Structures are given as structure tokens and as C-alpha cells.
């Protein structure tokens, strides 16, 4: 590719390029494509060759590139075709380990695991700055810092949020956290802006200080008419730790092995989207508002699909839900409602019902304790397709998830004559169609074009109301139990959303002046160790008398509930746990021991402070 680039411009020798293109330097950390992170100064991009370009000059520096063995002397090679002499490849060659740019460095996408596709990995080609100078090669040198990402499937909402937006959001936050502001997103795929561009556009705003929308290749091309465009700094890829699902490229699909993202971080991202879309909040301070449920008129939301995987008796379903649970029902879909409208109704819903599909990723906008019921077409086992179950189950999402599967062939409508990507099978040999029609459920398979899976997945479904209601009642009973046990406090009522009294300007200033991450204002705080622990054996009563002083920082934090956990261990090794509301307690001496070891921690709103590292020895 380097050669191509130089040859492209070597025809014209007359005019030396007057623009001085700054030399590039690269700094990477990490030791594999999956975990390497690279910062590049003065990275260029060649529109014609669709390559990133590293301008190599005397001051270029490289750090953290993969090491490979490279020949340091040329091989005295004789072609076996023209000579009968044996070829000795090693005679004049020695090798040494060198860091070189010779292959992919890091993932260009954020949320897609194990894609192992060179098209989605970042690499660049090197060009000598002297060669550029001597050719008629034009360049636009932009002062912008860019975060480079390749969208995976921008026409699918789950992929948009999981693969692109969430990893972008946390990559940009990381940069801001380290003081590097004003990164502009550069999307280096060949897609049009797409149906969900209004979500990608959010990375402009007051929140990320850069006032510009992301660039796509096309929009950047329209702004500059030079051969190269060069950025002052570039960072590659989103934050991979935000993934919760892998799509089954080289093992069956399922949750990622090491889930790192928390519900709190996802809700923080959801809050960013809500503000960006300027979705008004329900005012929970209005009269008639239940502090416990945060609802004036409780309602359920059905997200339907107009084209494929439809619910055929949607009106009956919504009437049945309304009747059974005394809920109003609202039906929305991506075809006729804006993203803002859908987010608006979701943020206060009691229940969300939808067929399996990308629209269910919007459950991240539901309030805590909301019920999510995912419907599965005939032959699609819910336990094999769990992106939305996984999302609902992430610690801190606090959603009540249930799956409902259609088991009745009479209530399923298939579309054999459709396009194969929408489940059509008419193009397949008769025997294969028969096997697909007879096989229930679909066997596990890799991504993405298994015809049996697509055929079943794109069926329409008439929901069996009786069977559905069994699932829904069970979920609503769990919700009732959870609401019953949840303390009603002002704090609890607002802890997953913004304060009801926060005005727009408050929010704007909060976001533009603060370092972000998941906002932890309402999270429990933990304490230091307790102080001055005294512990004595009282032999006459066979007890330990223990007292201590509260952790020093307890007076500086907000605490609704405070108690202490004591762990007492005798020489037999068995550890007993005791709980105390105060700072003094008597507990039984373990066994007939004359000595015991003691640890104490302070627990604030369910969050443990540190135990003492060395045990306190209790003796007579």
C-alpha cells in the first residue's frame, strides 16, 4: 500500500509540495490487538487509498508496537527457476527483533468481540516525509484531535448502542478524565449516516466540549479537497470494557466472559442520551405522584415492529395487560416514533413488552424495578439468545426480566418466500427446507446467516394471552415484593435518574464542568476501619466484651443505615458473625477458648467499609 501511495504521485516531478506535513509519532500500550491502545501524533488519512498514513521522518518516534523478527541484511537469493544451484536462504542473513508496523495494531470497533476481521482492525502505512516533499502531494493539516471508530452495523439499534455509542462514550470520558478534551469522532466505515444518526450526533454538545458532529469519510471528504488529511492527534477505537454481549463469531453467542460494565454506568450513558435528545422528564414532585413507584398513572409500553417479527394480536395483548394489571398501555415503534418520544415513555414505565430484537436495547431507559418481558418466536429458545436478558441482569440495572416463548405452531406465521436474510428458505433444496420446517427448536449455531435460525427468527407471532399472563403475573409479583422491601426515601426515589428539580442549565453546567464516569452521587459510601478496638474475655460469664469507636470518616458522609459486622474466631478455626447497631457488644466466647481473634467492619447503607487487616487478639 505504501508503494501504491508513492507511485500514485510519482508521475509528476516538477512541483515540490509546499505544505510541510508534520512527522508522525505513535505511542501504544497493551500487548494484543484486543487490548492495545494507541495515540498517534500527526496521523494522516489518504482518501484515494483508504489508508491511514504515518509520515516517517527524523523526529518520528514509536513505542509499544508489536515486535517481529526482521532481516537486517538482504538475502542473497537465487531463483530456483533459473539456477540449479541449491538456495541458501540463511547464508547472508541475520535477524533481529524489531518493533515494526507491519500489521493490525488494535480494534477499530468498540463493542464487537472476536471479530478477527482485518477490515475492523486499525493499521497504517508508512511514507517518508522526504518522499512526500518531493512529490506533488497535497495535504490539509487540521488542528483537530480525533477518536477513530468503525461502525459495525449502524442500521441496527442494538449494534449502534452496544458496539458504537457506549464504547465511544466511555472512550471520550476517559480522554476527558485525563485532561484531553475536544476529541472529534471520525467514523471510518463506508456507511451512510443512517437511521440512527441523531444518536451519533450527540457526541458534539455541551457535554463533550467539541461543538462538532462526528465526521464520516464522506462528510470529511466534502470539507477538504486534498490528497491527505492530517490530524494533530488520533486515538483508535472505543472502550471495549463496555461490552456485555458477544455475537457468536467463533463460539455460540452469549454474555461476554468478563463482564466489566455496571448498570450504573449504563444508566449514566442512558442519562447522557436522554439529555442529548432533550427528552423532558416526568415531574415526580407533582401531586398524586407515588414516591414508591414514581408514577402518576402506571402504564405498560409495548414496542412493536411494523415489518418483521410482528405481534399479530397486539391490540388484544395490550387490552389484556391493561385489564389484568390495571395499567394503561402505550404502543410505540421505531418506524413511527422518534427516539426521543420512545425514551420519554420508557423512562417511567412499569412494564416493557417487545419481541426479541434490537428495539429491546432501549430497556436501559426504564426506571429501576420495571418489568421487561421479551417475546420469542416459535423455535427460538430464549436461553440461546440473551443480549437483552444479559442487559437487564447487569448489576445495577435492577430490572425484572422474563422471557416468553411461543410453543404453538398454530400461532406462528413463517415467510419462506422472503429474502434469505429475512428468513426466506424457498431458494434452498427441498430436503433442506423440510429439515428446517421439521426441526424445533433451532440448534445452536455461529453468527450470522444460519437459514434455520433466520427462518424461525423472522416469524410473526400470535401471543397466547393465557400463557403470557402466567409469565407477566410472576414478574409483577416480584416487582411488588421488591417495591415492598425497598425503603421509601427521597434519595431512593431519584437515584437512577436526575434530580426532579434539576433544571436544564444545571444539567448543562454539571456536565461541562465535571469529570464524568457514572455519576455516583447517590451511591452508598464506604468507611475507614473502626478505631480503638478493645476486647476482653470475661471468664466468669464466658463472653467477650468488645467496644470500639466509629470510623473517622463516618461523620463526613451521608448515611441512612449504619451497623457493624463482627467476626470472631477461636482456636478451632470456626468464624462466627455478629451484628451490632452500636459500638459495644458482648458475644459468646468461642468454645472453651481463653483467647479469640476479632475483625470489625462498619456497614453503611449496605456498603462494607474495611475490616481491620490484623486481627485484634482478645484474651483474659
Residues of this chain that interact with ligand UDP (CB under 6 A) are 156-158, 305-308, 333-335, 357-359
Non-local (6+) Cβ contacts of 306 within 8 A are 333, 335, 336
Please, which residue, 333 or 393, has the CB nearer to ligand UDP? Answer: 333
Whole-angstrom distance, CA of residue 286 vs CA of residue 329: 21
Q: Which is nearer to ligand UDP, 29 or 336 (CB)?
A: 336
Q: Which three cell numbers stand for residue 110?
A: 468498540
**Residue closer to ligand UDP, measured from CB, 194 or 237:** 194
Cell numbers found for residue 146:
480525533
Q: Provide, rounded to whole angstroms, the least separation between the CB of residue 162 and ligand UDP.
A: 11
The least distance separating ligand UDP from the CB of residue 511, rounded to whole angstroms, comes to 27
The residue among 207 and 302 lying less far from ligand UDP, judged by its C-beta, is 302
Q: Are 520 and 267 in contact (CB under 8 A)?
A: no
Beta bridge partners of 397: none
Nearest distance, CB of residue 247 and ligand UDP, angstroms: 10
Residue 227 or 374 having the CB closest to ligand UDP: 374
- Read off the C-alpha cell for 70: 526482521
Q: How far is the CB of 314 from ligand UDP (least distance, A)?
A: 12
Name the nearest CA neighbour of 49 among 216, 190, 227, 191.
227
Shortest Cβ distance from residue 335 to ligand UDP (Å)? 6
| Least distance between ligand UDP and beta carbon 197 (Å) | 13
Distance of closest approach, residue 459 Cβ to ligand UDP, in angstroms: 12
User: Residue 296 gets which letter from DSSP?
Assistant: S
Q: Based on CB atoms, which residue is closest to ligand UDP, 132 or 158?
A: 158
Q: Least distance in Å: CB of 363 to ligand UDP? A: 13
Nearer to ligand UDP, 125 or 160 (CB): 160
> Where do we find the cell 457506549?
166
Residues with Cβ within 8 Å of residue 471, at least 6 apart in sequence: 373, 402, 403, 404
Q: How far is the CB of 170 from ligand UDP (least distance, A)?
A: 22
Nearer to ligand UDP, 306 or 466 (CB): 306
* DSSP SS3 for 315: helix
CB of 303 to ligand UDP, least distance (A): 8
The answer to whether the beta carbons of residues 136 and 225 sit under 8 Å apart is: no
* Residue (200 or 325) nearer to ligand UDP, CB: 200
Residue with Cβ nearer ligand UDP (224 or 422)? 422
Smallest separation (angstroms) from ligand UDP to the CB of 312: 13
Residue 312 burial (C-beta neighbours within 10 Å; 0-12, 13-18, 19+): middle
Cell numbers that stand for 50 in this block: 483508504
Q: At what angle do helices 263-276 and 166-177 cross, to 10 degrees?
A: 90
Q: Give whichever of 333 and 437 is closer to ligand UDP, judged by the CB atom.
A: 333
- How far is Cα 324 from Cα 473, in angstroms, rounded to an integer? 9
Three-state SS annotation for 143-170: EEEEEEECCCCCCCHHHHHHHHHHHHHH
Q: Residue 295 and residue 287: Cα distance in Å, rounded? A: 11
Nearer to ligand UDP, 17 or 333 (CB): 333
- C-alpha span between 103 and 242 (Å, rounded): 26
What are the cell numbers at 241? 470494557
b/e burial code for range 279-303 (CB count within 10 A of at least 16 → b) = bebbebeeeebeeebbbeebbbbbb
CB atoms closer than 10 angstroms to residue 495:
16
How far apart are CB 361 and ligand UDP at their closest, in Å? 8
SS3 label, residue 568: strand
Query: Do 411 and 464 touch, CB atoms closer than 8 A?
Result: yes
Question: C-beta of 370: minimal distance to ligand UDP in Å?
Answer: 19
* Nearest CB to ligand UDP, comparing residues 357 and 367: 357
**Ramachandran quadrant class, 424 (left: phi over 0; alpha: psi -120 to 50; beta: rest):** beta
Cβ-based burial of 1 (10 A; exposed 0-12, middle 13-18, buried ≥19): middle
Amino acid at each position: 500500500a505504501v508503494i501504491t501511495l508513492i507511485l500514485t504521485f510519482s508521475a509528476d516531478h516538477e512541483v515540490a509540495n509546499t505544505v510541510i506535513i508534520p512527522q508522525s509519532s505513535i505511542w501504544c500500550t497493551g500487548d494484543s490487538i484486543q487490548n492495545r491502545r494507541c495515540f498517534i501524533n500527526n496521523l494522516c488519512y489518504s482518501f484515494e487509498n483508504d489508508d491511514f498514513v504515518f509520515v516517517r521522518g527524523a523526529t518520528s518516534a514509536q513505542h509499544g508496537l508489536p515486535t517481529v523478527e526482521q532481516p537486517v541484511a538482504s538475502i542473497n537469493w537465487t531463483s530456483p527457476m533459473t539456477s540449479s544451484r541449491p538456495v541458501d536462504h540463511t547464508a547472508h542473513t541475520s535477524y533481529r527483533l524489531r518493533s515494526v508496523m507491519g500489521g493490525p495494531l488494535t480494534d477499530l470497533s468498540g463493542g464487537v468481540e472476536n471479530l478477527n476481521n482485518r477490515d475492523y482492525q486499525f493499521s497504517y502505512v508508512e511514507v517518508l516525509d522526504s518522499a512526500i516533499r518531493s512529490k506533488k502531494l497535497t495535504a490539509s493539516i487540521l488542528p483537530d484531535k480525533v477518536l477513530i471508530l468503525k461502525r459495525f452495523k449502524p442500521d441496527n439499534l442494538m449494534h449502534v448502542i452496544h458496539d458504537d455509542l457506549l464504547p465511544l462514550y466511555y472512550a471520550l470520558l476517559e480522554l476527558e478524565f485525563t485532561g484531553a478534551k475536544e476529541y472529534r469522532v471520525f467514523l471510518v466505515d463506508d456507511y451512510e449516516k443512517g437511521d440512527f444518526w441523531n444518536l451519533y450526533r450527540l457526541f458534539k454538545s455541551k457535554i463533550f466540549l467539541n461543538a462538532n458532529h462526528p465526521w464520516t469519510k464522506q462528510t470529511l471528504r466534502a470539507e477538504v479537497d486534498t490528497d491527505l488529511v492530517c490530524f494533530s492527534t488520533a486515538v483508535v477505537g472505543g472502550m471495549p470494557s463496555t461490552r456485555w454481549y458477544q455475537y457468536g463469531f467463533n463460539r455460540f453467542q452469549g454474555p461476554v466472559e468478563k463482564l466489566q460494565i455496571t448498570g450504573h454506568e449504563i444508566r449514566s450513558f442512558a442519562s447522557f442520551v436522554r439529555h442529548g435528545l432533550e427528552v423532558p422528564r416526568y415531574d415526580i414532585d407533582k401531586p398524586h405522584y407515588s414516591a414508591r413507584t414514581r408514577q402518576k398513572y402506571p402504564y405498560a409500553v409495548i414496542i412493536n415492529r411494523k415489518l418483521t417479527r410482528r405481534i399479530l394480536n397486539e391490540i388484544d395483548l395490550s387490552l389484556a395487560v391493561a385489564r389484568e394489571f390495571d395499567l394503561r398501555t402505550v404502543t410505540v415503534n421505531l418506524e413511527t416514533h422518534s427516539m426521543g418520544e420512545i425514551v420519554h415513555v420508557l423512562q417511567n414505565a412499569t412494564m416493557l413488552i417487545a419481541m426479541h430484537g434490537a428495539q429491546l436495547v432501549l430497556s436501559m431507559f426504564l426506571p429501576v424495578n420495571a418489568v421487561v418481558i421479551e417475546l420469542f418466536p416459535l423455535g427460538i429458545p430464549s436461553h440461546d439468545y440473551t443480549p437483552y436478558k444479559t442487559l437487564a441482569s447487569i448489576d445495577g440495572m435492577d430490572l425484572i426480566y422474563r422471557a416468553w416463548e411461543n410453543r404453538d405452531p398454530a400461532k406462528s406465521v413463517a415467510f419462506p418466500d422472503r429474502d434469505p436474510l429475512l428468513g426466506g428458505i424457498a431458494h434452498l433444496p427441498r430436503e433442506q427446507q423440510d429439515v428446517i420446517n421439521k426441526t424445533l427448536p433451532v440448534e445452536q449455531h455461529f453468527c450470522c446467516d444460519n437459514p434455520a435460525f433466520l427462518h424461525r427468527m423472522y416469524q410473526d407471532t400470535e401471543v397466547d394471552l393465557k400463557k403470557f399472563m402466567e409469565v407477566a403475573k410472576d414478574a409483577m409479583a416480584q416487582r411488588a415484593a421488591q417495591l415492598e422491601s425497598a425503603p421509601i426515601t427521597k434519595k431512593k426515589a431519584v437515584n437512577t435518574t436526575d434530580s426532579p428539580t434539576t433544571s436544564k442549565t444545571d444539567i448543562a453546567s454539571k456536565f461541562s464542568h465535571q469529570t464524568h464516569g457514572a455519576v455516583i452521587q447517590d451511591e452508598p459510601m464506604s468507611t475507614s476501619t473502626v478505631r480503638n478496638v478493645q476486647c476482653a474475655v470475661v471468664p466468669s460469664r464466658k463472653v467477650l466484651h468488645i467496644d470500639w469507636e466509629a470510623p473517622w470518616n463516618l461523620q463526613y458522609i451521608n448515611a441512612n443505615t449504619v451497623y457493624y459486622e463482627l467476626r470472631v474466631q477461636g482456636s478451632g478455626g470456626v468464624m462466627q458473625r455478629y451484628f451490632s447497631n452500636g459500638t459495644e457488644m458482648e458475644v459468646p466466647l468461642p468454645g472453651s477458648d481463653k483467647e479469640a481473634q476479632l475483625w470489625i467492619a462498619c456497614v453503611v447503607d449496605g456498603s462494607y467499609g474495611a475490616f481491620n487487616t490484623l486481627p485484634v487478639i482478645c484474651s483474659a
